[in-house]
Each structure stands twice: as C-alpha cells, then as structure tokens.
C-alpha cells in the first residue's frame, strides 16, 4: 500500500493494488469542496480510468461527513458549478465501478457525488440532503437527473424544494441508495464490497455501467446544461447573497425574490 498523496483541493489519493481510494479530506469544513477540489476529484477519476491496473474506485469522506457540497466559505461561482459537473461526469463515464462509502452527511453537491457513483453503501447514521434552496440556489452536479431517476418526481421535488434531511434507512427504502449498514459494520461492509468489485470482470463492468447509465440517465447531459444556466442566474441574485450571509451568520435567510 502506498502512503498516498493529497491534492491542493483536499482530495486524498491512496492506491492499494487494484483499488484506488479517494477521500474528501477537509473535515474542518465537513469535506465541502471548492472549485479546485472538484477539479482534483475529476482528474483523479480520469487518471484511474486510464490505468488498467485499477479495478475499482472508492469515494469516501474523512471525519464525520461524506461531503457538505460546495464550500460557502470560499468563492462559489460558475467555475465551481462547472467543476462539480465535471466530477460527476468523470464518475459516470469511467469504465471502473465507483463505490461511494457514505460515512456521514451527503449534502448539496456532496449528495450528487454520492448518487453519481455506481454503488452506495451508507452508515445508518448518515443522511442525504439537497440543501441548495436554503441558500437561494437550485440543485446541481446532476442532482436534477439522479434524484428523480431514483425516487420519482414527487419525492425529488420534496427534497429539492424543502431541503429535508433523508436518513440513510429512508434513502435505501426509497431506492435513492443501494445499501445501509450499522455504523459498527460499515468499514467491514465497504471492504467486502471493494474486494468483490476488484476481483470482478472489468470488461463486463464497463459495458454494464455504460448500458445502465444510458438507459437510466439519458438526459444527464441536458440536465447539467439546465443546471449551469439556472445556477448562473441564481448565483448573481440577491437571494443567493442573502442565503450565504445568513449561513455564515447562523440565522434564517430573508429572501426577496431579487
């Protein structure tokens, strides 16, 4: 096992034989990522795709969260939206199976990242949250495609408009994720699934991914384009400025529709 490296954007990269483990490693920010972090993640997945020695990619978070989405403590702009979209497209397009080991909160673009993966194992204490409306934004990083494809329009609208936390057991019941395990069994379950994928048929896995994704998510590219357009307008709005200010001041926002 290599000692691993860490990118400027906070992505830990550790290779162990045929397994590449990517860790969102900004625990002081609940692993929220800036533009550089999303870009680093996309680069790491693209590099794994080009490496025949890698058979499976595991994506997880450091500390008590999986990923809190975009880091509102930094500049969040169209470049951030584009970088997050690039990261989810890299996960979808790689022929390697990507396992999301959701160790805690998966919020905003962090929720999108988890759902972009081919398999999701979550701790029972984890939860999923589309937190965008709370700061005057719309879901992005493919969430407008991933979520309704998994759980239907009604539940997707509720998640997007109301920003309710969806506990991992409920997410599994709805079909948003594939598996939830007790916290004490999480590491063992992730290790077992990783080993199974690493020893599986890589050519078949690549074909399965492509066929299932094209059938289940035929409108992902269009959804990302709609998200880019809508988010670009919302990022310039007074409501977004108010949402960020309220987030930083730990108060309820006062949206005006401007």
Report if residue 194 sits inside a domain. Answer: no
Residue-wise pLDDT tens digits, 122-162: 999 999 999 999 999 999 999 999 999 999 999 999 999 99
- Which element (helix H / strand E) includes 202? helix 202-216
Q: Give yes or no for a contact between 111 and 61, defined as CB atoms under 8 angstroms apart.
A: no
Beta bridge partners of 61: 24
In whole angstroms, give the CA distance from residue 150 to residue 195.
Answer: 26
In whole angstroms, give the CA distance from residue 8 to residue 17.
Answer: 24
Report if residue 189 sits inside a domain. Answer: no
In whole angstroms, give the CA distance from residue 135 to residue 133.
Answer: 5
Report if residue 195 sits inside a domain. Answer: no
Report if residue 226 sits inside a domain. Answer: yes
User: Which of 120, 132, 88, 125 is CA-nearest to residue 105?
Assistant: 125
Report if residue 47 sits inside a domain. Answer: yes
Question: Can you list the pairs that 173-176 forms with residues at least 24 positions away whose Cβ atoms lie under 8 Å?
Answer: 174/150, 175/150, 175/151, 176/115, 176/128, 176/147, 176/150, 176/151
Number of domains in the chain: 1
Report if residue 149 sits inside a domain. Answer: yes
Domain residues for the domain of 49 are 5-183+201-249
State the CATH number of the domain containing residue 157: 3.90.226.10
Please state the pTM of the whole predicted model.
0.95
Question: Can you list the pairs that 124-127 forms with residues at least 24 positions away whose Cβ atoms lie under 8 Å?
Answer: 124/168, 124/169, 124/180, 124/181, 124/182, 124/183, 125/168, 125/183, 126/66, 126/102, 126/167, 126/168, 126/180, 127/165, 127/166, 127/167, 127/168, 127/171
Report if residue 45 sits inside a domain. Answer: yes
Q: Give yes or no for a contact between 55 and 92, defined as CB atoms under 8 angstroms apart.
A: no
Q: What per-residue confidence (pLDDT) applies to 1?
A: 35
Q: What per-residue confidence (pLDDT) applies to 3?
A: 52
The ranges of the chain with pLDDT < 50 are 1-2
Q: What per-residue confidence (pLDDT) applies to 4?
A: 86
Q: Give yes or no for a contact between 9 and 44, defined as CB atoms under 8 angstroms apart.
A: no
Report if residue 255 sits inside a domain. Answer: no
């Amino acid at each position: 096992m290599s000692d691993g490296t860490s990118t400027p954007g906070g992505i830990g990269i550790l290779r162990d034989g045929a397994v590449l483990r990517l860790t969102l490693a900004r625990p002081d920010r609940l692993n929220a990522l800036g533009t550089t972090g999303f870009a680093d993640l996309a680069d790491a997945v693209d590099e794994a795709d080009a490496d025949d020695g890698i058979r499976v990619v595991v994506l997880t978070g450091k500390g008590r969260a999986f990923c809190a989405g975009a880091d509102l403590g930094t500049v969040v702009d169209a470049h951030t939206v584009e970088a997050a979209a690039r990261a989810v497209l890299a996960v979808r397009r790689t022929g390697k199976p990507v396992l999301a080991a959701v160790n805690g909160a998966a919020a905003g673009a962090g929720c999108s990242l988890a759902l972009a993966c081919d398999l999701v194992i979550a701790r029972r204490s984890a939860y999923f949250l589309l937190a965008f409306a709370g700061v005057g934004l719309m879901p992005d990083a493919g969430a407008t495609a991933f979520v309704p494809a998994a759980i239907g329009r009604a539940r997707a609208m509720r998640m997007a408009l109301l920003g309710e936390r969806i506990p991992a057991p409920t997410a599994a019941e709805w079909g948003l994720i594939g598996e939830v395990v007790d916290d004490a069994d999480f590491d063992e379950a992730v290790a077992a699934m990783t080993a199974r994928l690493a020893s599986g048929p890589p050519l078949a896995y690549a074909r399965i991914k492509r066929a299932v994704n094209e059938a289940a998510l035929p409108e992902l590219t269009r959804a990302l384009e709609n998200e880019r357009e809508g988010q670009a307008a919302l990022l310039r709005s007074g409501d977004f400025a108010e949402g960020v200010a309220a987030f930083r001041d730990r108060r309820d926002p006062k949206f005006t529709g401007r």
